[in-house]
Amino acid sequence: MNEINEVLILGSIALDTIETKFGKKEDLLGGSATYATIGAGFYGSPIPIGIVGDDFPEKGDEIFNNFSSNLDNIEKKHGKTFSWGGKYHNNGDDRDTLFTDLGVFESFEPVLHSKNVKASWVFLANIHPSLQLSVLNQCKNNPTVITDTMNLWIDTTLQELKKIIKRTDILLINESELSLLTKNENILESSKQVLSMGPQKIVVKLGSKGARCISKNEDISVGVYPVKDVVDPTGAGDVFGGGFVSGLIDNLSTSESMLRGSALASFCIEEFGVSKLININKNDVEKRMESIK
Ligand code: AMP
């Protein structure tokens, strides 16, 4: 079977309404799959898996086309695109979800295109664990599995999430989700707990403090590029994840892959939505990677 050395990216494709201390914007292109595809798409051609409604803007199609040459697994269905509203606290990190409107996502049953079942990499970005499981079960090539999740699924669908974690090679998770999952606030101890659940590596996202990868033999930390005004932190973790996976596909070391993810995430937070990210190039990313080092 011919392998495809690209990454399938499952997640939400959304229209976001976001409020931060820098203002409020409506119907921004967002979603975990969107941000992750952009993060990975600077260096490769990721394969997003998701669904949009007939209100999805042309500009959104254009952006996906710029970051992927394989959009066979984006479904378009009559109805409304998934939409999410969030308001950030003044500290810039914490946020409240104001609304989640599933729209066409409610009946989403992803079916992988026959050529996409051979992908060697799968990034299960944040989405309901049952969808993550469904996509994983359709993969035929024993892919390397990178998984992200959120507190909602730890709180509401823990048993299904544990099934996914068991089949995950690298778990991406932020610090507060990690302590929620393990009931332990010590990063090293809780990471070891996660390693005993299945993954070979865990990457703990530490927000403005960077990220730390822990495995049996490694404990690697990377920092962040200092951004003066964090205008909108939405999607930073997904962009990090997309960039990180693209580094692994390019055979970069774990720490170089994390640096790539961190540099990309620093652009994400500088403007609302994806607007900064879609106006940078690889050269900009490399410069920030050097600067973080
Ligand atoms: P992050 O800032 O990394 O948590 O991800 C931001 C994206 O996640 C936003 O663009 C939202 O559209 C999307 N999102 C919010 N809630 C959910 C959910 N329950 N499932 C999937 N995606 C979501």
Q: How far is the CA of 1 from the centre of ligand 1 (A)?
A: 34
State the average pLDDT for the chain. 96
Handedness of CA 16, 63, 236, 147 (dihedral sign): positive
If you search the block for the tokens 């900064």, which residue do you land on? 276
Mutate to test the pocket of ligand 1, among 150, 156, 160, 173 (most ligand atoms within 8 A of CB): 150
Say if CB 58 and CB 51 are below 8 A apart.
no
Say if CB 124 and CB 154 are below 8 A apart.
no
CATH fold group of domain 4-292: UDP-N-acetylmuramoyl-L-alanine:D-glutamate ligase (3.40.1190)
The pLDDT value recorded for residue 146 is 98
Contacts of 142 (CB under 8 A, 6+ apart): none
**Tokens representing 152?**
């909602």
The pLDDT value recorded for residue 4 is 86
Ligand 1 neighbours by CB, cut-off 6 Å: 12, 14, 16, 30-32, 84, 100, 126-127, 152, 234-235, 237-238
76-91 burial, b for 16+ CB within 10 Å, e for fewer?
Answer: ebebbbbbbbbebeee
**pTM over the 0.85 mark:** yes
Q: How far is the CA of 141 from the centre of ligand 1 (A)?
A: 28
Q: How far is the CA of 162 from the centre of ligand 1 (A)?
A: 20
Burial label for 220, CB within 10 Å (0-12, 13-18, 19+), is middle
Tell whether the model's pLDDT for residue 266 goes beyond 80.
Answer: yes
Would you place residue 94 in the very low, low, confident or very high pLDDT band (cuts 50, 70, 90)?
Answer: confident
Looking at residue 232, the DSSP 8-state letter turns out to be -
The pLDDT value recorded for residue 293 is 87
CA distance 62 to 58: 6
Nearest CA to ligand 1 atom 16: 84
The pLDDT value recorded for residue 230 is 95
Would you place residue 2 in the very low, low, confident or very high pLDDT band (cuts 50, 70, 90)?
Answer: low
The pLDDT value recorded for residue 73 is 97
Tell whether the model's pLDDT for residue 274 goes beyond 60.
Answer: yes
Tell whether the model's pLDDT for residue 221 goes beyond 90.
Answer: yes
Q: How far is the CA of 32 from the centre of ligand 1 (A)?
A: 5
Ligand 1 atom closest to the CA of 100, numbered from 1: 16
Burial label for 238, CB within 10 Å (0-12, 13-18, 19+), is buried
The pLDDT value recorded for residue 288 is 98
Q: How far is the CA of 245 from the centre of ligand 1 (A)?
A: 19
The residues spanned by each domain of the chain are 4-292
Sheet bearing 4-10, strands edge to edge? 74-76, 47-52, 4-10, 119-124, 144-148, 170-174, 201-205, 211-215, 219-222
3-28 burial, b for 16+ CB within 10 Å, e for fewer?
Answer: ebebbbbbbbbbbbbbbbeeeebeeb
Cα radius of gyration (the chain) = 17
What is the rounded average pLDDT of the residues 204-208? 93
